[in-house]
Amino acid sequence: PTHQPLARTAGIRLDVEWAEDAAWRRTHKEPYLSWSDFQQTRDKGFNRPFFTYILLVVCTAVLIASYGLNGWKVEPLNINPMVGPSAETLIRMGAKQTSLIVNQGEWYRLFSPMVLHAGLIHYFLNMTALWFIGKAVEQCHGFAAAAILFIIPAVGGTILSAIFLPEYISVGASGGIFGLIGACVADIFINWSLLFSKHVNASDEGVRFRHLKVLLWLLFDIVINCLIGLTPFVDNFTHLGGMVYGLLCGLSTIERLSTDFFGIATTFWTRLRNLLIRFSGLILSVVLIMITTALLVENDAGKSPCSSCRYVSCVPFPPWAGEDNKWWYCDDCSRITADAKLDASGYYSLSMTCPDGAIEEIDLSDQLVTDRQWIRKQLPSYCRKYCDNLFA
């Protein structure tokens, strides 16, 4: 849905460029191009969205490789609802995992997740959004602008995810796509007066409704993607962080169109102002990435500064299932350890270390447990039953 308001600004920009081309041809006594001929010239040669094409090819190749590394099979839906490979395979392919980034120095994991996907569903949704939004942005603003609006938000969002969700692995081009959505928002607000002006619209009738419709489409698209961010291997810190970075970069890289004349003002002061605005947004984005990277390095790789923030990106599912039968959880009980005490009749006691470090003694004498693996599988359930604090 986001491509609809963006396509509207793209159409206006095309009209502006056509008018500028006509003015240049009139000055140089060159023959005019019809609107349709001018549009065709823009869709040929180097005006095509090559960055978007490259991303589509790379993401497709990496998805196929991840299935191959996973033995050409998919995990059960209660493990990976995106119809994709296992968590171990995604980690081997370069998924974001904070402990590997900070402790092992695998900093490439800040970049590699932007071309990885959790499965077919995740891939299809992201590539559809990339095709519409990425192509429109690139054809309007060029290869370099599209690359900036995708890569910087993707990396910035991944860093925020590594800080606030260190216990989760995550993948996806969503951070970059949300960066493009942020740029769409920036484009709409920068050119609001032109986008909904009487010069562009045949009449003033329904303008308020169009304003609301554009914002509702954007909100709908953001909500849908944030709901997807509540599932495993996808996270909303990457999404929302990417959108903030995309908004900042968009305010710098997207050009403001004049409402007084179909053309860009070229006075010295106007060019200087536009240049300062453009650099300020990009500089702020880079500074924020440097600050958050420093925080990531200084922070304990296994501890989030806000444990309850995980619920921004995780909801236990399905809600109707019992506490011991959910597909996934949002606590730290999957990482706990325990010491089991054994006698001739079997394991009779369990000393369990809760996520916050507290020790809980569990009596197993009435259960006659002899299988150590069974106990290992029950540890998360014991954690949720006996521990007061479920977060590290």
Active site residues: 174, 239
Which of left, alpha, beta for 268 (phi over 0: left; psi -120 to 50: alpha)?
A: alpha
Element (H, E) at 341: strand 337-343
CB atoms inside a 10 Å sphere around CB 254: 25
Other C-beta atoms lying within 10 Å of the C-beta of residue 1: 14
Phi/psi of residue 44, each to 5°? -115, 165
Angle between the 268-298 and 143-164 helix axes, to the nearest 10 degrees? 30
Interatomic CA distance for residues 350 and 362, integer angstroms? 5
Displacement of CA 60 from its chain's centroid (Å): 17
What are the distances in angstroms from CA 232 to CA 42, 184, 224, 227, 330?
41, 27, 15, 11, 10
Q: What is the spatial distance between Cα 33 and Cα 53, in angstroms, rounded to a whole number?
A: 28
Sheet order of strands, 337-343 included? 337-343, 346-353, 359-363
Cα–Cα dist 334/367, whole Å:
22
DSSP 319: T
Angle between helix 174-190 and 3-27 (nearest 10): 60
The pair of three-digit structure tokens given for residue 340, joined into one six-digit string = 């089991």
